[in-house]
């Protein structure tokens, strides 16, 4: 063999060795680039080039922050004129804005702490958290302990804010029902054995809530419990039987309660002179606010109904102020934002179930029922499609404990999404 051929062979071998050890390949490309593998995004779509994976659902967090920002602006707009009323004469025009901003700050800190907690820990704490919520619901009914407003005793005074145990009960129910379905997976086709403990827990929490009274919170919690049972695989016929039974119970409560019966009658005909100055007063002025808003609204801060015509404009009927000031366009944007948010929460829950994280998936879908269901009820009340329930608009309305528990629940959803992404990349949750 000639020296030239030997040299060519050694040179080629040396070049190949350099390329394998960490230099460059024979075509001048770096080995790091040659060895790079496509990274799969959260939805499983492969990319041709290496892509940096975000650690959490940035679109979901952005949507939540956008709704919170809108809520801060609208709470200020809806409450700035309240000090003109004798009831709020000692408050400054920015009182509710400052309180709402403080609640947001506390809720953000709580959310940042909650997102650090593994879902396995939430699963372990679920029964204890549910018991704690029941205890607090009982404590709030103790005279001189619970705080009453407008005839309802729903709050525990904590200094910086009034805490509403029913908000904690919503999150606790989502966790407990999901944990219960995981533990009862082997008997879910046997309706009595699978459902009666949950029915007993729901009945107990219902008695406490209706004694406050807070029927709106009970409706949301009952929807969450039934929804998780259905999504967890309980027999379909028995589920619909339970749903019909629950509707019958609600109907019986309305029929036997003159107060609730009057609300239903006022809802059906709010313009009747008998109700327009009483139980139908809020609804009539809410409808007037939407009518004044028309397509693009009267302009930010230009609402007339918030000037002591529409009661609770910064809480239960904030959507009416949005309709009057921002018009149909503003209302449509808010509806679309909540629709997208609820759908995204359910997608994250289904992903968790698909990866055998059943507790996480059912809990997240329960939170989706909570956010979507309460939003639907609040908007229905504001638009006259549902009777008045006393439920706030999630993420937007004034209310410290509601904002706190909403953000903690959504932080847990983000945590589930983070663990989903870790599992999709082959790691551990």
Quick one: pLDDT at residue 67?
97
Give yes or no for a contact between 145 and 212, defined as CB atoms under 8 angstroms apart: no
- In what side-by-side order are the strands of the sheet with 152-157? 147-149, 152-157, 162-163
What is the pTM (predicted TM-score) of this model?
A: 0.83
Quick one: pLDDT at residue 11?
47
Tens digits of pLDDT across the chain (429 residues): 444 444 444 444 444 434 443 444 433 443 333 333 332 333 333 333 333 344 889 999 999 999 999 999 999 999 999 998 888 889 999 999 999 999 999 999 999 999 999 999 999 999 999 999 999 999 999 888 888 776 678 888 887 788 999 999 999 999 999 998 888 766 555 666 667 777 888 888 988 888 888 888 999 999 999 899 888 877 677 777 777 877 887 777 777 777 777 778 788 888 888 777 778 888 999 999 999 999 999 999 999 999 989 988 999 999 999 999 999 999 999 999 999 999 999 999 999 999 999 999 999 999 999 999 999 999 999 999 988 888 899 999 998 899 999 999 999 999 999 999 999 887 665
Peptide bond before residue 213 is cis, with ω within 30 degrees of 0: yes
Quick one: pLDDT at residue 427?
64
The contacts of residue 41 (CB under 8 Å, 6+ apart) are 47, 51, 53
Residue with tokens 């999504």: 231
Residues in the chain: 429
Quick one: pLDDT at residue 425?
84
* Domain definitions of the chain by residue range: 58-424
Quick one: pLDDT at residue 193?
67
The contacts of residue 122 (CB under 8 Å, 6+ apart) are 175, 363, 412
Rounded Cα gap, residues 150 and 280, in angstroms: 16
226, 281, 391 from 133: Cα distances, Å? 19, 34, 19
Identify the sign of the CA torsion 304, 307, 311, 315: positive
Quick one: pLDDT at residue 254?
74
Quick one: pLDDT at residue 305?
94
């Amino acid at each position: 063999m000639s020296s030239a051929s030997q040299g060519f062979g050694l040179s080629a071998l040396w070049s190949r060795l350099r390329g394998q050890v960490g230099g460059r390949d024979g075509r001048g490309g770096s080995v790091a680039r040659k060895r790079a593998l496509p990274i799969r995004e959260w939805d499983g779509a492969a990319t041709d080039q290496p892509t940096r994976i975000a650690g959490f659902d940035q679109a979901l967090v952005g949507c939540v922050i956008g709704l919170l920002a809108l809520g801060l602006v609208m709470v200020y707009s809806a409450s700035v004129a309240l000090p003109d009323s004798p009831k709020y004469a000692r408050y400054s025009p920015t009182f509710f804005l400052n309180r709402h901003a403080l609640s947001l700050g506390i809720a953000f800190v709580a959310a940042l702490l909650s997102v650090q907690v593994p879902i396995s820990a939430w699963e372990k704490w679920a029964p204890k958290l549910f018991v704690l919520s029941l205890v607090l619901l009982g404590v709030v009914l103790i005279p001189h302990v619970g705080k009453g407003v407008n005839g309802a005793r729903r709050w525990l005074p904590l200094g910086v804010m009034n805490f509403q145990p029913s908000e904690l009960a919503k999150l606790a129910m989502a966790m407990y029902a999901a944990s219960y379905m995981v533990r009862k997976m082997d008997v879910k086709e046997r309706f009595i054995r699978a459902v009666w403990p949950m029915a007993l827990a729901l009945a107990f929490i219902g008695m406490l809530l209706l004694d406050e009274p807070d029927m709106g919170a009970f409706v949301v919690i009952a929807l969450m419990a039934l929804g998780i049972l259905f999504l967890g695989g309980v027999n379909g016929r028995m589920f619909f039987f339970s749903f019909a039974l629950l509707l019958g119970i609600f109907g019986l409560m309305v029929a036997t309660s003159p107060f609730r019966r009057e609300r239903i009658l006022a809802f059906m005909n709010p313009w009747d002179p008998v109700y327009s100055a009483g139980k139908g007063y809020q609804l009539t002025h809410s409808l007037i606010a939407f009518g004044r808003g028309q397509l693009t609204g009267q302009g930010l801060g230009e609402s007339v109904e918030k000037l002591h015509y529409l009661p609770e404009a910064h809480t239960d009927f904030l959507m009416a102020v949005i309709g009057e000031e921002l018009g149909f366009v503003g209302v449509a944007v808010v509806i679309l934002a909540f629709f997208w948010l609820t759908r995204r929460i359910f997608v994250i829950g289904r992903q968790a179930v698909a990866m055998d994280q059943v507790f996480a998936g059912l809990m997240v879908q329960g939170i989706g029922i909570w956010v979507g269901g309460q939003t639907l009820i609040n908007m229905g009340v504001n638009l006259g499609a549902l009777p008045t329930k006393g439920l706030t608009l999630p993420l937007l309305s004034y209310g410290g404990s509601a904002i706190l528990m909403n953000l903690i629940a959504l932080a847990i959803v983000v945590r589930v999404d983070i663990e989903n992404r870790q599992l999709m990349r082959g790691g551990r949750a």
